[in-house]
Amino acid sequence: MKKSKSETAATRKRIVEAAAQVFSSNGIHASGVAEIMSAAGLTHGGFYRHFASKEELVAQACAAGMASTLDAIDASFEHGEQAFIEHFEAFLMDQNRAACLGECPLIAMGSELARADSETRRAATRGYRALIDTLSANGAADEGAAMFVFSAILGAVTVSRIVDDPELSARILAQAKARIAALLSNSNAPDNRALAVDG
C-alpha cells in the first residue's frame, strides 16, 4: 500500500534524526547508509526512496542538528542569563562531552564538514550565522564576542579529543570553560555591553 505524504515525511525525518546521531558518533565518512537505516529501524533498500545520495542526507542532518542547537540555546535564554551560561559550559564539561557532541554538528563533525560538498557547507554556514545572530539578538554578546566564544568552544573540544592524555584533555576543557564563562559574564555586565574580542 502506498504511503501517505505525512507518513513519507515522518519516515524521512526519522532517517535524518538517526543520521545526525550516527554521524556525530562515528563521523560522516565512517558511517554507511546501511548503518544509518538500521539505526532508524528501516531497511537499507528504502534509502533511495527518500534521498538521492548520502551527501543529500548529510546536508539534511547538518541542518537538523543546527536547528536543534538553536532551539536549545533559545530555551536556555528563557531561563535567564545563568541558564544560558550553563548551557555553553555544558559543552566543556568533560563528563558530558559525548552527549553534548550530538547536539551541535559544527562541534561533532567540524573537520569533516570543512571537506563536505557545497550543499552541506551551505547548511552549516546558515546554521552558524543563525547561531551568532541568536547570541547577539538576545544580548549575550556582541557579534565579535559571540564568534570568539563559539570558536573557542569548537577549538577546545576538538583539541581535547585529539590529545591522548586524559589529564591534559580535562585541563584544556577546564581552562576554556573558565575563560568563556568570564567573557560571557562580562559581556552581560551593564558597563561592558560593547565588549570587543580584542579588549
One pLDDT digit (tens) per residue for the chain, 199 residues: 567 889 999 999 999 999 998 998 888 999 999 999 999 999 999 999 999 999 999 999 999 999 988 888 888 888 876 777 777 777 676 555 555 544 688 888 888 999 999 999 999 999 999 999 988 887 667 899 889 988 998 898 889 889 999 999 999 988 988 888 787 777 655 444 433 334 3
**Nearest C-alpha neighbor of 153 from the set 81, 80, 73, 77:** 73
In a domain, residue 131? The reply is yes
**Nearest C-alpha neighbor of 34 from the set 52, 14, 19, 13:** 19
Cut 0.85: pTM above it: no
Q: What is the residue range of 94's domain?
A: 58-192
Three cell numbers, residue 125:
554556514
pLDDT for res 197: 39
pLDDT for res 115: 92
**N-terminal to C-terminal alpha carbon distance within the chain:** 64
In a domain, residue 173? The reply is yes
Rounded CA separation 193/29 (Å): 42
Total number of domains in the chain: 1
pLDDT for res 35: 97
In a domain, residue 36? The reply is no
Query: How many C-beta atoms lie closer than 10 Å to residue 1's C-beta?
Result: 3
In a domain, residue 100? The reply is yes
CATH number of the domain bearing residue 126: 1.10.357.10
In a domain, residue 105? The reply is yes
pLDDT for res 2: 61
pLDDT for res 198: 41
3-state secondary structure of 149: helix
